[in-house]
Amino acid sequence: RVWSDYLSVHLHPKSIYVIRQYMHNGDCDCLEAFGQGERLLEDPGCLEELEDRLHFYVEECDYLQGFQVLCDLHNGFSGVGAKVTELLHDEYSGKGILTWGLTPVMSNEGVRLGFPRPQGSQKNLYRLMNIALGIVHLSSHSSLFCPLSLSGSLGIK
């Protein structure tokens, strides 16, 4: 039913963190606003879990050179990514942070990679604001920020 059902790579249990309220049948509809993503990591339990998982991998490194962060820009995960890069920047100030901001391709027919395009001006406003806030926050806490999309306009028209 979801893309991860077809993932043939076995991931370490410490590398997966499920956000329960935003699952396909979760309490909330979807993670659609930058602020929702930021608020997720303001929860002390969520932040502590993330830090524990991060420290698990950092302690395994012989010589940590930096981090690569990939996150969506067009939805609430831009807020999650902004908080994660801020955490990395604060805790590992001497390490490089390469951040990739990803946006999907929007076709003329209103279909995004096989999913219906959200209707309404409010959804489009959320999308635009998420991208703008994501670019500002991610670039301010990263050594290098690269927006990445197959569309030349990052999906902004």
Mean pLDDT, residues 65-79: 93
Sheet order of strands, 66-72 included: 66-72, 96-102, 144-148
Residue 114 banded pLDDT, cuts 50, 70, 90: very low
What DSSP element (H or E) covers 102? strand 96-102
67: its two tokens = 């981090």
Give the number of other CB atoms < 10 A from CB of residue 75.
Answer: 24
Provide the whole-model pTM.
0.80
Residue 13 pLDDT: 85
| Lowest mean pLDDT, pick from 45-54, 98-107, 148-157 | 148-157
Domains defined along the chain, listed by start: 3-149 (3.40.50.1440)
List pLDDT tens digits, range 73-90. 998 999 999 999 999 999
